[in-house]
Amino acid sequence: MRQQYINRSLVLVFGLAIVGIGVIVQMFRIQNSDQAKIFLSQGDLYAGEFRMFYPERGEIYDRQGHLIAGNRTVFEVGVSLDEMEDVDAMSYVLGTYLNMTFEEVHDKLVNSPESWTYIVIKDYVDVETVEALRQILQQLDDANDNRLDGLGFKPHYQRSYPEEKLASNVLGFVTRDGRGYFGIEEKYNDLLAGVPVQVWVPRDPNKAIDIPKVPNGTTLVLTLNRDLQAKVENILDQSLLEYGANNGTIIVMDPKTGEILAMATTPRMNLNNYTDYFQVYDNGSQYNRSIGMAYEAGSVVKVLTMAAALDTGTVTPETSFIDTGSINVGGITIQNWDRQPWGQQDMIGCLQHSLNVCLAWVATQMGSPTFYSYMEHFGLGHPTGVDLSGEAMGRLKVPGDSDWYPVDLGTNAFGQGVTVTPIQMLMAVSAVANDGRMVTPHMLYAMLRDGHQYNVPSQYAGAPISAQTARTLTQMLSVSLEGESSDALLPGYRVAGKTGTAQIPTDYGYDPERTNASFIGWGPVDDPRFMIYVWLQEPQTSIWSSQTAAPIFAEVAEQTVITLNIPPDLVRNQYGSR
Amino acid sequence: MQLQATNIIHAYRQAPWRVQRQYVGAFLLIVIVVALISALYLDVTARSALAGREIQELQTEITTMQRLNADLETKLASLTSSSTMQQRALELGYRPVKPGELDYVFVPGYAAPEPDILLAAVDMTSSSPRLPEEYTESLLEWLDTRVKFGDTP
């Protein structure tokens, strides 16, 4: 009996062992079968998803910490087609709230490709609309109504410009594909945009730590002063109306550092509606005329000619010149702006009365090699390197060029036949305002990344003239302004500057009725804190810059000293003596 | 008498039911140990999963807060934009100042304050978020730390 019991037990144990081993073998077989690999790969599909992480685009602030380009949340509204229950209800609700027709939405939902499981109905939908849709979803959910099942919202960032049109020509804009165009947005696009990262995001909570941190784009702080920018834009807009000019540009720069404090130009556009670009501008060079449009600036170039002549010792302020009203250079007769002789003049008189004949004579006294060498050192014909996208180079013809003629020496001396951008003139003349050292104009004050601040140092672009020459010329320009009681003078502050009225070249020669009116000036002359360039295109009330650009300079200078807290010379000298 | 007692004890020790009980006891001990380890593992895994889930939720919350923060910053900037502030100032009866109306006071050693955005940047370096070691170190690393430094953290 006992043996029988043992035998039965052994059979049972053996049988169970066989079954157990069979189970284990089957487990291994199933887990290593081809089907298992398919199931595993299918399982992996649900274990997580590849997701592209776009970093938040870096913000842009002005030098006082005002946000001038930020980000706001918008939503992509889509429908999961597998979960959709009622296409008519979905079409009706989305059509109503997304400003689309019932047919538009219905067509998208019904005629989507069969393989699609999700379809985007509309992107860049604002928060308010999405909140309204969410409320409807919630109400339906409370009532166990599934007619809007499948409706989903995916948030993402959109560039936003709180100041709308302010400094639009400087900032540029960002399109929906996240790329910056023009200005700061294009120049620093890589820094601002950051680096998008595509990663596998696991659904397994144990692997939550694997989700990478995507650093935001670099935040930029500009040298721009928002309040001054607003005032300068306002002055420019008023001036265009007052003088009937087509367009205009005003730049305010710190001549010691090259920091651009304000840069206003027309036309401007609301950056939040960047699609208006094609209605506002005909081509890219118009976007920011301060840097993108070269023109014949006229007599403001005389500052550079005189600087070169003083620096080489060709003339001194007291050098005498008898103006007969014309001079022959390269076989061509050059005349003054009024075609009149001005008699005996010293160099201050030549600048004060803006005598073409005198400056052409000065250039001929220097000779072509010296004159053009100085113009090259002043940066004419080369980009300044300003950190804004779309800078034009201008054109300086030099001896040896196929289109250079000997008369060009005389005409170039008073700014005819040479094209420059306003920013080029500012950089060149900064040498005069800054003791001979020329500064590179720039817009970036600091960068902020990962909690660290990187300040952008000022860069010098050479010293084309000596400090002594710079001081002498500053005095000459200051005296010449005071001598003619210029409209550019600012009570309480001693300023230096020069007008420039240039006829506009056409295919048939220069048009005497249409001019570009310019003015470049700086102050206070003993300690320059601002440098201003004004350019009015084709003013109608007067073609002369002394009657248009010069008073604008004074107005901008007035607002600049108020905004930057620059005391009048008398007050400053009193404090300085303490 | 003593021999009889020794034999009884010996017989008791070698009793088949007692040997079986020892085997069963050993087997049960193994089962209990395995069950304990499994329970411990399950507990740790569950806690880890909960913590992971919490991290996922916090990450989602961080993203939501960052978006909200960006929205609010932009909204604030719109409400304090140059044109809006100018309009409000005019409505309140202010007017632009003229140069002659300004008085300048000399303050020795005065330096204009830095903008908030630059001041914030310097402070942020010391407060960058960091995940606690409890979430990142392995059991072996934890043991190694305890062996080297004792219980003091």
CB-based contact (8 Å) between B111 and chain A?
no
DSSP string, B5-17: HHHHHHHHHT-HH
Residue A475: pLDDT over 50:
yes
CB A290 within 8 A of CB A265: yes
- β-strand partners of A118: A80
Query: Over 70: is that where the pLDDT of A506 sits?
Result: yes
> Left (φ > 0), alpha (ψ -120 to 50) or beta: where does B65 sit?
alpha
Output the six-digit token pair for A444: 């970036």
Preferred mutation among A5, A63, A67 to probe B, highest tally of B CBs within 10 A? A67
B51, B82, B135: residue with CB nearest A230: B82
Q: What pLDDT does B123 receive?
A: 42
Residue A540 has pLDDT above 80, yes or no: yes
Residue B152 has pLDDT above 60, yes or no: no
What per-residue confidence (pLDDT) applies to A369?
A: 94
Q: What does the mean pLDDT of chain A come to? A: 91
Query: What 3 state SS string does A121-155 have?
Result: EEEEECHHHHHHHHHHHHHHHHCCCCCCCCEEEEE
Q: Does A166 touch chain B (CB under 8 A)?
A: yes
Q: Does A206 touch chain B (CB under 8 A)?
A: yes
- Ranges A31-40, A110-119, A156-165, most confident: A156-165
Q: How confident is the model at residue B151 (pLDDT cuts 50, 70, 90)?
A: low
Q: Are A518 and A550 in contact (CB under 8 A)?
A: no
Residue recorded with tokens 């004792």: B150
At residue A335, does pLDDT exceed 50? Answer: yes
Per-residue three-class SS string for B77-134: HHHCCHHHHHHHHHHCCCCCCCHHHCCCCCCCCCCCCCCHHHHHHHHHHHHCCCCCHH
Contact A136/B at CB under 8 A = no
Mean per-residue pLDDT, A239-266: 95
Helix (H) or strand (E) holding A276, with range, is none
pLDDT one-digit tens code per residue, A179-229: 999 999 999 999 999 888 887 777 777 776 666 677 889 999 999 999 999
- In the predicted model, is pLDDT for residue A38 greater than 90? no
Q: Report the chain B residue with the minimal C-alpha distance to residue A446.
A: B118
Is residue B47 within 8 angstroms of chain A, CB to CB?
no
Please answer yes or no on whether B128 and A568 come within 8 Å at the CB atom.
no
Indicate the pLDDT class of residue B126, thresholds 50, 70 and 90: very low
Q: Provide the strand spans (E) within A489-567.
A: 496-506, 509-523, 530-537
Question: What is the average per-residue pLDDT within A521-543?
Answer: 94
Q: Is B84 on the interface with A (CB under 8 A)?
A: no
Phi and psi torsions of A363, nearest 5°: -65, -40
**Chain A residue with Cα closest to B133:** A209
CB-based burial of residue A298 (10 Å sphere; 0-12 exposed, 13-18 middle, 19+ buried)? buried
| Interval A142-164 mean pLDDT | 90
Q: Between A and B, how many residue pairs show a Cβ–Cβ distance under 8 A?
A: 119
For residue B86, which of A233, A240, A144 has the smallest C-alpha distance? A233
- Asked if the C-beta of A163 comes within 8 angstroms of chain B's C-beta atoms, the answer is yes
What is the C-alpha to C-alpha distance for residues B115 and B120, in angstroms, rounded to an integer? Answer: 9
CB A67, CB B74: distance < 8 Å: yes
Cα of first residue to Cα of last residue in chain B, in angstroms, is: 65
Subunit contact A452:B121, Cβ cutoff 8 A = yes
pLDDT (mean) for A375-387: 94
pLDDT tens column, B70-90: 999 999 999 999 999 999 999
**What is the chain B residue with the closest CA to A227?**
B82
* In chain B, where the domains are located: 1-94
CA angle centred on A413, ends A407 and A419, rounded to 5°: 90
Interface test with B, best of A6, A160, A164, A564 (most B CBs within 10 A): A160
Amino acid at B121: A
- B105 in contact with chain A, both atoms CB, cutoff 8 A: no
Higher pLDDT, A459 or B100: A459
Question: What tens digit of pLDDT does each residue of B106-118 get?
Answer: 888 888 777 777 7
pLDDT digits (tens, 9 = 90+) for A222-236: 999 999 999 999 999
- Cα B70 to Cα A217: distance, rounded to the nearest angstrom: 13
Q: Band of the pLDDT at A430, cuts 50, 70, 90?
A: very high
Across the interface, of A72, A230, A446, the residue whose CB is closest to B118 is: A446
Best to test chain B binding among A2, A5, A63, A71 (most B CBs inside 10 Å):
A71
Segment A511-530 shows an average pLDDT of 92
Q: How far apart are CA A464 and CA A446, in angstroms?
A: 28
Residue B132 to chain A, least CA–CA distance (Å): 12
Q: Which residues contact A317 (CB under 8 A, 6 or more apart)?
A: A310, A346, A347, A348, A472, A475, A476
Statement: residue A353 has pLDDT above 50: yes
ipTM for the whole complex = 0.81
Better pLDDT: B142 or A59? A59
A406/A367 Cα distance (integer angstroms): 10
Whole-model pTM: value is 0.83
Rounded Cα gap, residues A530 and A523, in angstroms: 6
Confidence of residue A122 (pLDDT cuts 50, 70, 90): very high
CA distance linking residue A9 with residue A25, whole number of Å: 24
Residues in chain A with CB shorter than 8 Å from the CB of B83 are 163-164, 166, 230
